[in-house]
Amino acid sequence: MKKYIYFFSTIFLLSIQLLSSPTSCSANRNTNVPDGPARLLNLAESFLNGKNYTRSEATYKEVLSIDRNNDEAYFKLGIIALRHYHNNNKAIYYFNKAIELNKNGVEYYINRGAAYAAIDDWKLAIVDYTTALQIDPKNTWALSSRARSYEENKDADNAISDYQAAKLIDPLNHATYNIEIARVSLKLGAEIKKTKENSGVFLERAIQELNRGEHIERAEEDLKTTIELDSKNDWAHFLLGKIYATSPDKSKPAMKQFSKAIKINKLVPDYYFFRGKLHGKNGNYKAAKKDFDAAIELDPRRGNLYFYRGMCYMELEMTTEAQDDLIKFKQLDPKRGTQADSYLNTLFSQKKSSK
């Protein structure tokens, strides 16, 4: 569980270096300190940035020996205990001291919340993240952390609500929040509102379902919902086409979805590759070759494209072109050289028999 929390914090929480920057929360800290502690704080900061935790810890304690009311020193000792020594109880002690001295330090509550989360005390973690948000309502770090705590507390609605709020505040990272919302929805069985803003959530949930290899029918429905909300989503069309392509009776719908994906975005080799494979499966080798041509033009270093085009050439009785493509496939993908050699031997035999 601790590793789970630490992994999550690498995505949503600020790094130690950011936390250690002198300006990260200076507006909320008591800066009216003697010159001696200020100099020592800078020295301790440099040790912390250099990951010399032992000397950094000793220097922060030296600060406290001079100034017992230095909330920043207590906070940084808590950071060292939490992030380096993984001593959560000790970290909570230091964060408590920092908060007693300064009740407006947003990151004090967030990090104490992380320490509570590390010992699975989700309710206290939620309290601290909520306090941080009362001070700074647009803090996506606190929102994301509280969302994870709500999730662990089996409160899917509040978890999703916090991720949605974070996405509105931080639209540049909307894809990350969509992934988290989809994951929570799958894990706790929560419903997602069918709105245009959530089209990406339905797509991410479908991707997660497909990656698990289960609930394929639900993934299909999620992709249809994505397209209903955002008809220009080429990736949704493509994935729906891949699902259809696995069913012999859905070849036409699969072809339709692949073609829509290509119409929206002509720069993705896989779209042509999968449509080309479907053309070949249907015996339309000229159309398949045309799609493999397009894919190769976009990604000429991809060996399997030459292999499949080589198969088309063989079916079209264009043996020289087939031979060239199979040799190219062998050069680009030597691990599958035996497969290429088998077809090349067949081609050589055909050439000999035709003379």
Question: For every one of its 355 residues, what pLDDT tens digit does the chain have, with 9 covering 90 and above?
Answer: 444 444 344 434 444 334 444 334 444 444 444 457 899 999 999 999 999 999 999 999 999 999 999 999 999 999 999 999 999 999 999 999 999 999 999 999 999 999 999 999 999 999 999 999 999 999 999 999 999 999 999 999 999 999 999 999 999 999 999 999 999 999 999 999 999 999 999 999 999 999 988 789 999 999 999 999 999 999 999 999 999 999 989 999 999 999 999 999 999 999 999 999 999 999 999 999 999 999 999 999 999 999 999 999 999 999 999 999 999 999 998 888 777 777 777 766 665 455 4
pLDDT of residue 348: 62
pLDDT of residue 37: 84
Structure tokens at 270: 């896989």
pLDDT of residue 225: 97
pLDDT of residue 353: 56
pLDDT of residue 31: 47
pTM of the entire predicted model: 0.76
Domains and CATH numbers, the chain: 1-147 (1.25.40.10), 154-266 (1.25.40.10), 269-355 (1.25.40.10)
